[in-house]
């Protein structure tokens, strides 16, 4: 792949990382830990520290999970970069999907290494339900959103784009 093409996709990842870190900085400065700040029904800004993975999986594991998830994110990020370098510049959809996942993975990796936990603050829930499956309801961040968007794009790529198509 031409280096200038790869630069474009890595720049997208860097923009995601910067946006993620800026919003986390704002959340840490302006929000009180575990105090919900309702924006509208079904949407709160609630600062949480997640030492585990999605939905706080392994958050009570005793500390080893910090380095496990950091190592996993680092290996996955390196794998994504290698994958991206091997792709044709015409695979724009796939490259964008990988750039989103990469940006999100590195955004959360930065938190794990520097803080020991991931800063989460976006809380979306079904306001019409009188009960919650989780207490507190799981929160997420921009990095998590980028990973979700990228993963969804990867699924679309796998099912709708064939190898010979121009993925623009």
Is 168 a domain residue?
A: no
Q: Does any domain span residue 52?
A: yes
Residue 115's pLDDT is what? 92
- CA dihedral for 108, 113, 117, 120, sign (positive or negative): negative
Residue 23 corresponds to which tokens in the numbers above? 């919003």
Which one is predicted more confidently, 7 or 138?
A: 7
Question: Does residue 38 lie within any of the structural domains?
Answer: no
Say whether pLDDT at 3 is over 90.
no
pTM of the model: 0.84
Residues contacting 112, CB < 8 A, separation 6+: 66, 69, 70, 73, 118
Closest CA to 6 of 74, 72, 87: 87
Phi, psi (degrees; rounded to nearest 5) at 134: -125, 145
pLDDT at 41: 84
Candidate list 20, 111, 120, 167, residue with the active-site label: 120
Assigned domain for 65 exists: yes
Q: Is 144 a catalytic residue?
A: yes
Among the listed residues 125, 152, 124, 122, the one whose alpha carbon sits nearest the alpha carbon of residue 20: 122
* ∠ CA 128-39-148, rounded to 5°: 80
**Domain for residue 103, yes or no?**
yes
Contact 105, 80 (CB under 8 A): yes
Lowest mean pLDDT among 13-17, 19-23, 72-76, 93-97: 72-76
Average pLDDT, the chain: 84
Q: Which of 111, 144, 157, 167 is an active site residue?
A: 144
In a domain, 35, yes or no: no
Give me the domain span that covers residue 11: 3-28+47-160
pLDDT tens digits along 29-87 = 999 999 999 998 888 999 998 876 554 544 544 555 667 777 888 999 999 999 999 99
Domain count, the chain: 1
pLDDT at position 57: 46
Look up 120 and say whether it is catalytic.
Answer: yes
């Amino acid at each position: 792949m031409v280096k200038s093409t790869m630069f474009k996709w890595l720049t997208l990842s860097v923009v995601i990382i910067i946006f993620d870190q800026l919003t986390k900085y704002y959340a840490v400065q302006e929000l009180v830990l575990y105090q919900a700040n309702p924006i509208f029904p079904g949407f709160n800004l609630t600062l949480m520290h997640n030492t585990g993975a999605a939905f706080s999986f392994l958050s009570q594991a005793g500390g080893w999970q910090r380095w496990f998830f950091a190592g996993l994110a680092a290996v996955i990020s390196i794998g994504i970069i290698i994958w991206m370098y091997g792709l044709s510049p015409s695979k724009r959809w796939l490259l964008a999907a990988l750039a989103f996942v990469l940006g999100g993975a590195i955004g959360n990796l930065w938190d794990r290494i520097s803080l020991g936990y991931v800063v989460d603050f976006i809380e979306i829930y079904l306001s019409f339900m009188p009960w919650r499956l989780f207490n507190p309801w799981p929160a997420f961040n921009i990095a998590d959103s980028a990973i979700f968007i990228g993963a969804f794009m990867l699924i679309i790529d796998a099912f709708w784009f064939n190898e010979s198509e121009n993925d623009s």
